Chain A
Amino acid sequence: MRILVCVKQVCDSADTLFIDQSSSWVEYGGHTVFRMNRYDEYALEEALRIRERFEGTGIDAVSIGPERAQATIRRALGMGADHGIHIYQEERGYLSPFDRAALISRAAADRGYHLILAGVMAEDDMEGQVGGLVAGMLGYACATSVISQELSPGTGEVLVEREIEGGRRERLNLKLPAVLTIQSGINIPRYPALSHMLRSRTAAIELIEAHALAPRASSGTRIRCAPAEAGSVGEFLEGTPEQKALRLLEILHEHSLL
């Protein structure tokens, strides 16, 4: 069984971001901390659990980005991925899900993955598209928002439950190869052991230049980005914490809620 896990590097908090000069995307301030997209941690953990069940499973972790993306790949190796692939793309603002998926599917095309896992969405652009796009580009089956999976390598199928509205679950069987986007809560991602993280520091990472993949022409979008306006319709309670607490209790009484 060969598994590819897509791990995206995202900023830890939106507080250190500002809009770039051309207003097309955000720029990361000097203090920005980067880490692995949380949903991708669940995807990687699920791959590790599959490997525990099925001997001989190999897990590759792929990430797209500038130099700093290597830290996220090393984190994936520290968690237990066997091999890291860095698709080097210089810092250039917004990279659409289409462009990301095109790069990943080009890199994955000849590697015969049975399963490609990704988080249900990235915490930064929140588009939730890369998994579905990769499936479309590679002609893989696909299920999104997967909250449980049961792989049967013998029959070449995977039984999944997708989380849908109201916490209900849709059950379906997919024929491999397949892309699954993983919903949080499917597992508890492990914290990498220090010894693994130390070992991952010296592990070789396969480097592929994005332009060398010659991805297909973008069917992306032109984008502009702006801070969300405060847009509050509500009333901010002002004053000392004590004054706010008193005012809040008054409000609750006025609305006959207390």
Chain B
Amino acid sequence: MSTPCSEGVVRMEKEVFVIALHEGGQFIQEMYETVAFARELCGGKPRIVVLAGDREIAGLADALARDTGLDVTGLSGRSLKHYSAEAYTKHVSAFFHNRGPVTLCIPHTAQGGDFAPQLSVCLDACCITAVERIEAGALVRSVFGGKFKAYHRPSAPSAVLTVLPGAWKRQVAVGDSPGRLTIVPVADDTLATTVHGIRESAHANTALSEAEVVVSAGRGVGKPEHVSNIRALCALFSKSAIGASRAVCDLGWLDYSHQIGSTGNRVSPRLYIACGISGAIQHIAGMKDSRTVIAINTDRRASIFGIARYCIVEDVNTFIPLIIDTYAKGRGKG
């Protein structure tokens, strides 16, 4: 079957694979989202490859075959007990070596984004990262801070794709029988990488995760002294906390315990007020589950307005004092 849509995208069912990422014996949510992406991409049943240590592989692969109804290949070995880009690149590329063109779908997480480019070199594949939509056969991703979209079509026979977290919804396989399971032991080898484990965040902030209202500062705040406006707005609400974009923390205006985003705190308050935040995908990943989002930004085209319920095109530094003033007057009257 050849449609204009399929041009350049490998759509043959058997050739689309998901590399399943897991942590602490559990598959990450983004893995299931990537399965949904892969189903849309191939219009049928993709297959799954999961990598783990010898003791963990059977349980993981079995759960995956049951959860998704898809055929699962488990690669196991001592070097796969912990994630490392080196081991994943080596064993995934060995598995696909000489198999002909494939499309590999990987969650765009700190792990997926870590090994996908190296893997693409080993497979002579093209690499497209943080795919957020499939449109007429092209893979769509954000560029220039979300102001533009790029539509990619692979020009190599094989492709390694990473899928933006949250862009697809996990599908529940209903009535599907479990997929077939294959476990393949991989050769033990010495790696140039030694993994020492994971250290918890020094910046976890329970005030943020418990807050009902989060007021967040972005670069649009302009100066460190203007952060006081954000504090003042925050103080109008009970059970509120201050958040920040990564840029604001990098500039030292607020410390990293306030950072909201994929590598910071993830929040889902009743109300999220984004002040002078453009809406980078990494920031949105940390607050998209907020019930109501209000965004204030001078740029009408800012990506944050794409997900906000209420959009206000104003300069936060003049508008916030105005809100506080108007609120105070209202109370005085009432």
Report which A residues bind B (CB closer than 8 A): 11, 14-15, 17, 19, 26, 94, 96-98, 101, 123-133, 135-137, 141-145, 159, 161-175, 183-185, 188, 218-228, 230-237, 241-242, 244-246, 248-249, 251-252, 255, 257-258
> In the complex the two chains form, is A173's CB within 8 Å of B194's CB?
yes
Most buried by B among A14, A96, A137: A14
> In the complex the two chains form, is B127's CB within 8 Å of A241's CB?
no
> In the complex the two chains form, is B148's CB within 8 Å of A14's CB?
yes
> In the complex the two chains form, is A171's CB within 8 Å of B199's CB?
yes
Chain B: interface residue total (CB-CB under 8 A): 100
> In the complex the two chains form, is B246's CB within 8 Å of A241's CB?
no
Q: Is B116 an interface residue (CB 8 A)?
A: yes
Q: Which residues of B contact A19 (CB under 8 A)?
A: 148
Tell me the complex Cα distance, A163–B187, Å: 30
Q: Which residues of A contact B292 (CB under 8 A)?
A: 255, 257
What are 8 inter-chain pairs, A to B, with CB distance below 8 A? A17-B147, A123-B144, A126-B141, A144-B85, A167-B201, A219-B124, A224-B150, A248-B294
> In the complex the two chains form, is A241's CB within 8 Å of B322's CB?
yes
Q: Is B79 an interface residue (CB 8 A)?
A: no
> In the complex the two chains form, is A244's CB within 8 Å of B312's CB?
yes
Tell me the complex Cα distance, A173–B34, Å: 29
Q: Mark contacts of B187-205 with chain A using CB atoms, 8 A cut-off: 1 yes-contact digit, 0 otherwise.
A: 0000011111111111110
The 7 closest A-B pairs by CB, nearest first: A136-B121, A132-B117, A167-B201, A164-B110, A171-B196, A14-B144, A175-B192
> In the complex the two chains form, is B109's CB within 8 Å of A165's CB?
yes
> In the complex the two chains form, is B153's CB within 8 Å of A222's CB?
yes
Among listed B39-47, B57-65, B169-177, B264-272, interface-contacting one:
B264-272
Q: Is B145 an interface residue (CB 8 A)?
A: yes
Tell me the complex Cα distance, A245–B143, Å: 32
Tell me the complex Cα distance, A175–B262, Å: 28
A interface, over-half SS: mixed
Most buried by B among A125, A173, A226, A252: A252
Known contacts A141-B192, A224-B138; is-contact A184 B250 (Cβ 8 Å): yes
> In the complex the two chains form, is A166's CB within 8 Å of B263's CB?
yes
> In the complex the two chains form, is A249's CB within 8 Å of B330's CB?
yes
| Closest residue on chain B to residue A144 by CB atoms | B114
Q: How far is the CB of B237 from chain A (nearest CB, A)?
A: 7
> In the complex the two chains form, is B271's CB within 8 Å of A221's CB?
no
Tell me the complex Cα distance, A22–B199, Å: 48
Q: Is B103 an interface residue (CB 8 A)?
A: no
> In the complex the two chains form, is A234's CB within 8 Å of B305's CB?
yes
Q: How far is the CB of B62 from chain A (nearest CB, A)?
A: 25
- Contact with A225, one of B143, B237, B325, B330 (Cβ below 8 angstroms): B143
Tell me the complex Cα distance, A17–B85, Å: 36
> In the complex the two chains form, is B155's CB within 8 Å of A167's CB?
no
Q: Which residues of B contact A126 (CB under 8 A)?
A: 130, 141-145, 281
Q: How far is the CB of B51 from chain A (nearest CB, A)?
A: 16
Q: Is B12 an interface residue (CB 8 A)?
A: no
> In the complex the two chains form, is B326's CB within 8 Å of A166's CB?
no
> Would you list which residues of chain B between 231 and 264 have a CB under 8 Å from chain A?
236-237, 246-247, 249-250, 252, 256, 259, 262-264
Q: Which residues of A contact B300 (CB under 8 A)?
A: 236
Q: How far is the CB of A37 from chain B (nearest CB, A)?
A: 12
| Closest residue on chain B to residue A252 by CB atoms | B271
Q: How far is the CB of B165 from chain A (nearest CB, A)?
A: 9
Q: Is B222 an interface residue (CB 8 A)?
A: no
Q: Which residues of B contact A11 (CB under 8 A)?
A: 144
> In the complex the two chains form, is A125's CB within 8 Å of B143's CB?
yes
Q: How far is the CB of A148 from chain B (nearest CB, A)?
A: 10
Known contacts A167-B204, A242-B326, A249-B327; is-contact A128 B129 (Cβ 8 Å): yes
Q: How far is the CB of A42 from chain B (nearest CB, A)?
A: 8
Q: Mark contacts of B102-140 with chain A using CB atoms, 8 A cut-off: 1 yes-contact digit, 0 otherwise.
A: 000000011101111111111011111110000000100
> In the complex the two chains form, is B213's CB within 8 Å of A257's CB?
yes
Q: Which residues of B contact A231 (CB under 8 A)?
A: 306
Q: Which residues of B contact A244 (CB under 8 A)?
A: 312, 314, 319
> In the complex the two chains form, is A164's CB within 8 Å of B111's CB?
yes
> In the complex the two chains form, is A234's CB within 8 Å of B118's CB?
no
Known contacts A141-B86, A166-B266, A167-B201; is-contact A221 B154 (Cβ 8 Å): yes
> In the complex the two chains form, is B117's CB within 8 Å of A219's CB?
no
Known contacts A185-B246, A241-B318; is-contact A221 B128 (Cβ 8 Å): yes
| Closest residue on chain A to residue B306 by CB atoms | A231
| Closest residue on chain B to residue A163 by CB atoms | B263
Most buried by B among A124, A162, A248: A248
Tell me the complex Cα distance, A232–B86, Å: 41
> In the complex the two chains form, is A129's CB within 8 Å of B129's CB?
yes
> In the complex the two chains form, is B150's CB within 8 Å of A242's CB?
no
Q: How far is the CB of A224 from chain B (nearest CB, A)?
A: 4
> In the complex the two chains form, is A133's CB within 8 Å of B110's CB?
no
Q: Which residues of A contact B237 (CB under 8 A)?
A: 257-258
> In the complex the two chains form, is B196's CB within 8 Å of A163's CB?
no
Q: Which residues of B contact A227 (CB under 8 A)?
A: 147-149, 301
> In the complex the two chains form, is A232's CB within 8 Å of B305's CB?
yes
> In the complex the two chains form, is B311's CB within 8 Å of A224's CB?
no
Q: How far is the CB of A84 from chain B (nearest CB, A)?
A: 25
Q: Is B8 an interface residue (CB 8 A)?
A: yes
16 further contact pairs, Cβ within 8 A, besides A221-B152, A223-B150: A123-B144, A125-B150, A127-B130, A141-B193, A145-B263, A164-B111, A168-B200, A168-B201, A171-B197, A172-B194, A225-B143, A228-B301, A230-B306, A233-B307, A242-B322, A257-B237
